[in-house]
Amino acid sequence: MKVNQLLFLATAAAAVTSSCQKAPVSEQEITKAVTFSSTISNQVTTKAAGANWESNDAIGVFMKTGSGLSNVLASNKQYVTTKGDGNFNASSTTEEINYPADGSNVDFIAYYPYQTTITNNIYPVNVADQTQQNKIDLLYANNVTGANKNKPNAQLQFGHKLSKVELTVAAGTGVSSLSGLTVTYNGFNTTANFDLATGTLAAGANPAAIKAKTTAGTSSTLAEAILLPVANVAGAKVEFKIGNETYTWTLPSSTTYEAGKKYSYNITLQEQAGNNAAIVASGNITDWTDVPSGSYVIGKDEDNGGTTDPVEQTLYEEDFGTTPLSKDEKFKIADFKGWSNTTVTYSDQYAKADIRTTGTIVNNHVWLPTTGNSELAIEGINTEKSSKLKVSFDVAIGTSKDFDLQNLAIIFNGQTFNPESKMILSADANKFINVTVDLSTATTLSANSKLSFFSDIQTNKAGLRIDNIVLKGLK
């Protein structure tokens, strides 16, 4: 799914006379103060600490012109939601941002959590201390351009820039209690520089043992960690310790942690690791883009080795990018450059499908129109040595025509699969539902597999929107 994002509405407030301390616009040219209110996109939690802002949460805001932060008019101004209700105001008169009186256009960049000192536009990230995760959950927005006193309404779209990992740890054979459990990520980088001008995170540094935040439940313990994104965790280990007993989990070599995504695992600790059930935790999508990542049974260390059995893995996923298109932008499959997964190739032999948003759906998605046959073809997915495949995706209809889901064809390496029959009524247009299609009978599994979503002009009278494609299998 999409990196879940907070939507902030910048609005003009009453005229003020205090200086905003910005150049080159003079004090006499300043007329209107900027305030911020907030909503949560798609009613999805986006804050590390929960579904809502907390009292006195603070963001840092830059008002500028030009590219990056080359011409800053208001630098690192602190805005606070005093009641935690999402309504942000300047923390003091000296922090207040004002629109230029001449009506000239300005842009905004914002981040959370606020830091008093920002040097050379660099936000220093440090995830070594996990005890207060809301203090290390970096959010960033830079999408608002061309705002001015005459059109102040603007939506700042905030996205997570770090990764989150959640482990639900249960006691298995030979483990009587999880009391006192500690969970440590060994060898992960703890610091990095985030460039507020470009929105990029530099390579991590200072590897160290990162102790996850643990919360004991009735039958399991939740271990949470916010980590720096990493392309390959090959050889990385997670250590579980109860008293004098140690259990070590070596992460699968294919594991990657991407910015804005939450990875969920079920972990069972026992004295001797047995065969794992390939079960992925189910539940509501919560505050990040959720990537359920499997179940593992971890045996007690005899020589600090630990063992890991293969389970269900995510083989491919696509959410069509974290930067939303405007409602007027539409890109054919061959022309779109904002794919979140760039390890595969995308095509539409009919040149009918496109990537777009719509007035009520702010996330990018693929549109399969009613005007002809269309497809989204994805080639280059590695399914070699895997089994029991299944593909899930979000789907919605776009017009006032009913549509039976079984008329959507899922083609995998030449085999056609169809969702179970389910009528989507016209009254539910533009409302996504999640669908899973069983591909376990696929006969061809290769390192260059092809997955297609095909729409036939004879049966597609409504227009189809598809988003958040995830292919999973045992491997």
- Count of Cβ atoms closer than 10 Å to residue 248 Cβ: 21
Given a cut of 50, whether residue 273 has pLDDT beyond it is: no
Q: Which residues contact 30 (CB under 8 A, 6 or more apart)?
A: 16, 19, 20, 98, 99, 100, 101
Tokens of 289: 């883009």
Residue 220 scores a pLDDT above 80: yes
* pLDDT bucket at 448, cuts 50 / 70 / 90: very high
- What average pLDDT does the segment 263-287 reach? 50
The reported pLDDT for the residue numbered 50 is 47
Q: How many CA atoms lie within 13 A of 170 on its CB side?
A: 11
Q: Which of 100, 78, 87, 97 is nearest to 36 (CA)?
A: 87
Mean pLDDT, all residues of the chain:
82
In this structure, of 181-185, 326-330, 405-409, the range with the lowest mean pLDDT score is: 326-330
When pLDDT is averaged across residues 229-250 and rounded to a whole number, the result is 86
3-state class (DSSP) for residue 389: strand
**Which tokens is 51 given?**
């579904």
Whether residue 113 is preceded by a cis peptide bond, meaning omega within 30 degrees of 0, is: yes
pLDDT on residue 383: 92
pLDDT given for residue 90 in this prediction: 85
Residue of 30 and 456 predicted with greater confidence: 456
Please choose, from the candidates 152, 164, 157, 120, the residue with its C-alpha nearest in 3D space to the C-alpha of residue 142: 157
Which position has the token pair 């008293």?
A: 243
Domains of the chain, by residue range, sit at 6-160, 163-310, 317-474
The whole-number pLDDT of residue 297 equals 64
Which is higher by pLDDT, 66 or 236? 66
pLDDT of 262 strictly over 80: yes
**Domain pair 6-160 / 317-474, same fold:** no
CB hemisphere CA count around 99 (13 angstroms): 26
φ and ψ at 367, to 5 degrees?
A: -115, 120
Q: If DSSP codes are grouped into helix, strand and coil, which group holds residue 268? A: strand
Is pLDDT at 335 greater than 60 in this prediction?
Answer: yes
Q: Stretch 218-233: mean pLDDT, rounded?
A: 92
Band (pLDDT 50/70/90 cuts) for residue 150 is confident
Return the pLDDT at 10.
44
> What pLDDT was estimated at residue 277?
22
6-160 — its CATH code? 2.60.40.2620
Judge contact between 6 and 158, C-beta under 8 A: yes
Taking the domain 163-310, which CATH number applies? 2.60.40.2630
Residue 280 pLDDT exceeds 50: no
H/E element, 308: none
What's the half-sphere exposure (Cβ side, CA atoms, 13 Å) at 356?
19
Q: Is the pLDDT score of 28 beyond 60?
A: no
**What's the confidence (pLDDT) of residue 290?**
59
Mean pLDDT of 384-394: 92
List the one residue out of 233, 232, 213, 231 whose CA is nearest residue 221. 213
Is domain 317-474 in CATH 2.60.120.260, yes or no?
yes
Q: What is the pLDDT of residues 32-54, one digit of tens each?
A: 667 655 443 333 343 544 446 68
Q: How far apart are CA 340 and CA 179, in angstroms?
A: 40
Q: What is the pLDDT of residue 322?
A: 78
Q: Please say whether the beta carbons of 211 and 183 come within 8 A.
A: yes
